[in-house]
């Protein structure tokens, strides 16, 4: 099979959601389709006592080491599916954002009873910033939820993206009858605990469901939507401007099969990516890829590290020699792993779109490009994701200043945590997007650099970057703290939303830059 055919078969995506919206339940159903697991309840560890596949690193966490997202892959309908986990809850970290740089599309799960929630917004913004196509699954239709039109309005308003409902629910909760599949012109009937059934719309009059008032009302509602709503455009979907919306229930499961079958057809295969030299297409003959995550201490006995590499072009073969573009050093990729279910299998070959784990002797940094030896390009740097929580950090024992600096320097380089320097005080402030990052930081400083660190929280903050020429230290104080980032750029850590708005009112002349701003 040619390179082009291999690439076209691959679908690499992440599922994003707010905790409890149903990401694990959905993942589990998809793994069932892929025959990766045999029974429901295998993924979710809470009740069964087994560990979740998508949470398999929970095991490592229990041994007191760092946790980050994992990858699952399986074959489905002639496609090679790669699902990247985006940890939520207390596992939320910068890695969750970075994972989104390694996917080609995203499935956003929204709980119909709650609508859009905070963590969904954050993850969505990263997708929008990067133009990643987003497919929406509105979950928990078996419960009494918000009106479908309300939910679509909310997505359009809060997330600023056009919606196109691929299907439309008929009733909800106890009155839930099924979904009208506009795209395939059929009705998918909800049969409670029984399997769903498919009825072509041309034959719907023969089914008693068509006589129910709720059904008739919904057909009318859909006619209005056909006239007033946006037209479906796959091009706009692929540009990240429109999101196809599917309704269903991950738990039932209901509408999951038709969602996934449609998604797999619409979702993009790996595309070209920008580098320092030229745009590299996934069927470019030479191997290349970039590291988007480094997992330290997966095995406490060995203290080894695994770097997660997204293959972007060519063919990876185990044992091949590649070049680390940043240093020009040649590295043999001998120990490589692919993450299937809860095991780690050795990977022999891989193509664009796939994620492999490569053994890291300590040479890699987040964002590093690995490339065929004769090439010189590097993939675009991974963006800096604005942290939200900040702590002042010092060494408990002042005699350990040297190890303290070394540890921080390396962990920052690795991307475990972000470092800011107070201005003009030069105090050290570390920023994170999730609490887990601090725990990992403290743990690793102690275990790898033998330094106990003291953390003093300065709370959740709102970071806004400044233009150099507009920096006036007199305008800022402890409340709205002026600091410098890793590139020497100035930013202000605003105490809260009120302080930010007060400042904007008072100093309209100062431009405040929000790295998460999407238009």
Binders of ligand G4P: how many residues, by CB under 6 A?
19
User: Is residue 88 marked as binding?
Assistant: yes
Backbone angles phi, psi at 375, to 5 degrees: -90, 160
CA angle 467, 472, 475 (to 5 degrees): 115
Residue 328 in tokens: 């020009």
Which residue, 252 or 393, is less far from ligand G4P as judged by CB?
252
Exposed/middle/buried for 477, CB within 10 Å: 0-12, 13-18, 19+?
Answer: exposed
- Is 167 a residue that touches ligand G4P (CB under 6 A)? no
User: Is residue 19 marked as binding?
Assistant: yes
Distance of closest approach, residue 445 Cβ to ligand G4P, in angstroms: 30
Distance of closest approach, residue 256 Cβ to ligand G4P, in angstroms: 9
> Near ligand G4P by CB under 6 A, which window of 137-145, 197-205, 267-275, 470-478?
137-145
Distance of closest approach, residue 247 Cβ to ligand G4P, in angstroms: 10
CA dihedral 334, 335, 340, 343 (to 10 degrees): 150
User: Is residue 18 marked as binding?
Assistant: yes
- Is 146 a residue that touches ligand G4P (CB under 6 A)? no
Distance CA 202, CA 184 (A): 11
User: Is residue 343 marked as binding?
Assistant: no
* Helix 401-414 × helix 435-449 angle, to 10°: 130
CA dihedral 411, 417, 420, 426 (to 10 degrees): -40
- Is 120 a residue that touches ligand G4P (CB under 6 A)? no
Give the closest residue to 179 by CA, choosing from 204, 154, 157.
204
- Is 163 a residue that touches ligand G4P (CB under 6 A)? no
Give the closest residue to 336 by CA, choosing from 325, 322, 34, 327.
322
- Is 143 a residue that touches ligand G4P (CB under 6 A)? yes
Distance of closest approach, residue 21 Cβ to ligand G4P, in angstroms: 5
Pick from 21, 152, 417, 433 the residue near ligand G4P by CB under 6 A: 21
Which residue, 242 or 258, is less far from ligand G4P as judged by CB?
258
- Is 46 a residue that touches ligand G4P (CB under 6 A)? yes
* Helix 148-159 × helix 118-130 angle, to 10°: 60
Instruction: Sketch the per residue contact string, 199 through 238, with ligand G4P: x for CB under 6 A, - otherwise.
Output: ----------------------------------------
DSSP for 5-49, please give it.
HHHHHEEEEEEEE-TTSSHHHHHHHHHHHTTS-SSTTSS-HHHHS
Pick from 38, 47, 174, 474 the residue near ligand G4P by CB under 6 A: 47
Which residue, 89 or 329, is less far from ligand G4P as judged by CB?
89
Which residues are annotated binding-site positions for GTP?
17-24, 85-89, 139-142
User: Can you give the binding site for ligand G4P, defined by CB under 6 A?
Assistant: 17, 19-25, 44, 46-47, 139-140, 142-143, 249-252
């Amino acid at each position: 099979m040619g390179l082009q055919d291999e690439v076209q078969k691959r679908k690499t995506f992440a599922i994003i959601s707010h905790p409890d919206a149903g990401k694990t339940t959905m993942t589990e159903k998809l793994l069932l389709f892929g025959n990766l697991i045999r029974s429901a309840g295998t993924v979710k560890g809470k009740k069964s006592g087994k560990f979740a596949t998508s949470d398999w690193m929970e095991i490592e966490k229990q041994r007191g080491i760092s946790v980050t997202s994992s990858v699952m892959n399986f074959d489905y309908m002639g496609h090679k599916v790669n699902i990247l986990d985006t940890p939520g809850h207390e596992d939320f970290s910068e890695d969750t954002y970075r994972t989104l740089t390694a996917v080609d599309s995203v499935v956003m799960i929204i709980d119909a009873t709650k609508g859009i929630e905070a963590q969904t917004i954050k993850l969505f913004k990263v997708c929008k910033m990067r133009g990643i196509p987003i497919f929406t699954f509105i979950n928990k239709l078996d419960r009494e939820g918000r009106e479908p039109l309300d939910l679509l309005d909310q997505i359009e308003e809060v997330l600023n993206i056009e919606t196109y409902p691929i299907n439309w629910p008929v009733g909800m909760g106890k009155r839930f009858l099924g979904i009208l599949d506009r795209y395939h012109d059929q009705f998918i009937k909800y049969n409670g605990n029984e399997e769903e059934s498919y009825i072509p719309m041309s034959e719907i009059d023969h089914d008693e469901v068509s006589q129910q008032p709720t059904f008739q009302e919904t057909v009318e509602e859909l006619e209005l939507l056909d006239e007033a709503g946006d037209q479906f455009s796959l091009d706009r979907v692929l540009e990240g401007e429109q999101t196809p919306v599917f309704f269903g229930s991950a738990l039932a499961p209901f509408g999951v099969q038709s969602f996934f079958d449609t998604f797999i057809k619409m979702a993009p295969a790996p595309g070209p990516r920008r580098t320092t030299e030229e745009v590299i297409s996934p069927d470019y003959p030479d191997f290349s890829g970039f590291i988007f995550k480094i997992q330290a201490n997966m095995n406490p006995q060995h203290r080894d590290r695994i770097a997660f590499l997204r293959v972007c072009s060519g063919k990876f073969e185990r044992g091949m020699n590649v070049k680390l573009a940043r240093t020009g050093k040649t590295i043999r990729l001998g120990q490589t792993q692919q993450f299937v279910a809860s095991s780690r299998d050795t990977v022999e070959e891989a193509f664009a779109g796939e994620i492999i784990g490569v053994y890291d002797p300590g040479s890699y940094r987040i964002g590093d490009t690995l490339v065929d030896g004769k090439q010189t390009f590097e993939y675009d740097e991974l963006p800096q994701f604005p942290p939200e929580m900040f702590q002042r950090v010092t060494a408990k024992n002042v005699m350990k200043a040297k190890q303290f600096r070394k540890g921080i320097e390396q962990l920052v380089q690795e991307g475990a945590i972000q470092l800011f320097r107070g201005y003009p005080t030069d105090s050290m402030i570390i920023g994170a997007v999730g609490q887990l990052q601090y725990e990992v930081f403290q743990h690793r400083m102690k275990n790898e650099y033998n330094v106990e660190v003291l953390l003093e929280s300065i709370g959740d903050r709102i970071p806004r970057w400044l233009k150099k020429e507009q920096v006036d230290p007199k305008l800022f104080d402890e409340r709205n703290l002026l600091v410098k980032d890793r590139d020497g750029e100035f930013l202000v850590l605003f105490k809260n939303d009120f302080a930010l708005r007060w400042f904007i009112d008072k100093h309209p002349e100062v431009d405040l830059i929000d790295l998460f701003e999407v238009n």
